[in-house]
Amino acid sequence: MKRQPAVLILKDGTTFEGYAAGYQPEGGIALGEFVFNTALSGYQEVITDPSYAGQVIAFTYPHIGNYGITPLDDEAIRPYCAGVVARDITSVPSNWRSEESLEAMLIRHQIPAIVGIDTRRLTRHLRNHGALPGAFGTADVDAVRAAALDAVGTDGTDYVSKVSTPSSYTRGEGDLHVVAFDYGIKTTMVNQLAERFRVTVVPHSTSADEIRALAPSGLFLSNGPGDPAALPHETAVIESLLGELPIFGICLGHQLLSTALGATTYKLPFGHHGSNHPVKDLATSRVEITAQNHNYAVAADSLQRAIVSHVNLNDGVIEGISAAAERCFSVQYHPEAGPGPHDARYLFDRFETLLRHGTMEVA
């Protein structure tokens, strides 16, 4: 496949040469905050994770697209990421489940990409300098550079309103009813809940009184994109429901629950994005290999009404909290693991135990 030359330029001026792939945006320039993902497989689930809204995903694994695309692996109705960077995207996928190529999916959903990039160099740069906004495309180099200088990151921006469901829907037939806030909820997350409960997924803007009117047994706070500090309404709703309902939060839901409990959040240098992050459960001393996708974290010295339940063994970041008095707990990582290992799926069972017996006993 003959590709058009393209350039990628970060806000600090660092430049990479490559070739255009995927959808070609009008004007030949795409913008976003660049982050890298270390997963060895699961590129479709990564790209369709709504938590990547506003970001350009650079895959550290050098060859993606080899097993194609199937709608069965989508984590949302469409990708919300701002773009994809890869060393190589195969043009001839081979798998019995495949229904189209990765590049065909990118074009169908209007997601721009750039290939032929030295992704090892890009990853090292982002590790050393943190996640950086920038631009890439086929436009004149000076135009791409100017766009990169004007590009902004995710700080202070509400991306949740762009990815949340516009209307409520229900899944599952369990005897317990759980209401799940959709801040950018992944399909695998809904499926894990629906295996155990009747789940009503509601928009991010749903009020506390509307939640009460649904008379749920418990409340679930989903993953989602962007800066938790940009979501004061969502935090206020959670705060008003604390103590009324058992609550389980994941990723952004963890950050919002922690904030509702009085903690603060901060932005990590380059975030955690991948399927191979070791986390220690402090209650059991068990180490789990986890899937993660977040740029923000809870500040350890800000916790007052909760205890730390899980920590990241790479850098010590808080990976989970628990507040017995308010009957709530949350984790920063992704126990549903789409993609990733299933080490932490016991947490959904822990939530069921909390709803049925009122305790958070260790499984």
Looking up tokens 């952004």 gives 252
From the candidates 204, 288, 334, 352, which is the catalytic residue? 334
The phi, psi pair for 267, rounded to 5°, reads: -95, 130
**3-state secondary structure (DSSP) of residue 92:** coil
Q: Is 17 designated active site?
A: no
Q: Residue type for 336, please? A: E
Distance CA(327)–CA(329), nearest Å, equals 7
Q: How far apart are CA 295 and CA 232, in angstroms?
A: 18
Of 251, 273, 310, 319, which one is the catalytic site residue?
251
Q: Where does residue 230 fall: left (phi above 0), alpha (psi -120 to 50 degrees), or beta otherwise?
A: alpha
Are the beta carbons of 93 and 66 closer than 8 angstroms? yes
- Give the span between the Cα atoms of 196 and 102, in whole angstroms: 33
**Beta strand 328-331 pairing with 247-250:** parallel
Neighbours of 58 (CB within 10 A): 23
Catalytic residue of the set 103, 319, 326, 336:
336
Query: Is residue 251 flagged as an active site residue?
Result: yes
Cα 112 to its chain centre, rounded Å, is: 19
How far from chain centre, in Å, is Cα 302? 23
Distance CA 309, CA 329 (A): 9
Structure tokens given for 58? 């650079």
Q: What are phi and psi of 29, to 5 degrees?
A: -135, 135
Q: Say how far apart CA 363 and CA 361 lie, in whole Å.
A: 6
Check if 328 is active-site. Answer: no
Catalytic annotation, residues: 251, 334, 336
